[in-house]
């Protein structure tokens, strides 16, 4: 069971990305557009645990190659099997501190404004990783290094594709928009046909009742 993940190829969509890529997007866009302020939701006090995706991959390999299903650490009291293994760093960070780290590494020089009229969300999300640690695995990628690598990967992606990962380009957006409109038109025609058939059947039934 992994904690919050981040890293290369993350989702930077403006409405459905997670906290770290969402903050990277905000500060990156503010930097390239020379904005003086970035507004973040809430107070910034909630804490989040963050794990680089490469660490998760290493943890998966470690478990598959080195951990047997009959390992005593996978059993609870009364010999009940409990194979769920939390994967994380065992450390969390306030979102406000995370925002400062990201803004610094992106190179944003403006101000961060916290909109306390917006919700904070869950106060804390931190996994107990004692089991995976006892099984011989610990997270290796430091958060500062992980953020730096993620931003570098993002900048490379943007220089090649001209848009953020997880966000459609203008051509893709136009294609999907036209596709959606075509689908809506077809559905509308189908509904009109159904309604027409229903009206014909209803009129026939009315005629039958009048004749009887």
Give Cβ neighbours of residue 4 (< 8 Å, ≥ 6 apart). Answer: 18, 19, 20, 48, 49, 50, 51, 125
What values do phi and psi take at 172, rounded to 5? Answer: -65, -40
- At 88 the pLDDT is 97
When pLDDT is cut at 50, 70 and 90, the band that residue 129 belongs to is very high
Q: How much is the average pLDDT of 142-160? A: 91
Burial group, residue 161, by CB count within 10 angstroms (0-12, 13-18, 19+): exposed
The answer on pLDDT for 122 being more than 50 is yes
Digit-coded pLDDT (tens) for 175-191: 444 444 545 555 566 66
- Flag whether pLDDT at 66 surpasses 50: yes
Global pTM?
Answer: 0.74
| Residue with token string 């890293």 | 7
């Amino acid at each position: 069971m992994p904690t919050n993940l981040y890293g290369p190829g993350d989702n930077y969509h403006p409405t459905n990305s997670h906290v770290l890529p969402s903050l990277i997007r905000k500060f990156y866009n503010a930097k390239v557009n020379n904005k003086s302020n970035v507004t973040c939701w809430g107070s910034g006090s909630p804490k989040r645990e963050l794990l680089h995706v490469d660490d998760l991959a290493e943890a998966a390999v470690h478990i598959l190659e080195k951990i047997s299903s009959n390992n005593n650490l996978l059993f609870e009291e009364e010999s009940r099997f409990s194979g769920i293994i939390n994967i994380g760093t065992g450390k969390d960070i306030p979102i406000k501190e995370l925002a400062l780290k990201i803004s610094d590494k992106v190179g944003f020089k403006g101000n961060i404004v916290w909109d306390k009229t917006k919700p904070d969300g869950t106060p804390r999300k931190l996994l107990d990783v004692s089991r995976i640690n006892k099984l011989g695995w610990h997270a290796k990628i430091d958060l500062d290094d992980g953020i730096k690598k993620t931003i570098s990967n993002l900048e490379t992606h943007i220089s090649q594709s001209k848009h953020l990962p997880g966000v459609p380009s203008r051509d893709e957006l136009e294609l999907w928009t036209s596709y959606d409109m075509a689908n809506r038109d077809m559905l509308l025609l189908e509904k009109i046909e159904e309604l027409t058939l229903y009206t014909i059947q209803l009129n026939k039934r009315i005629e039958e009742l009048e004749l009887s």
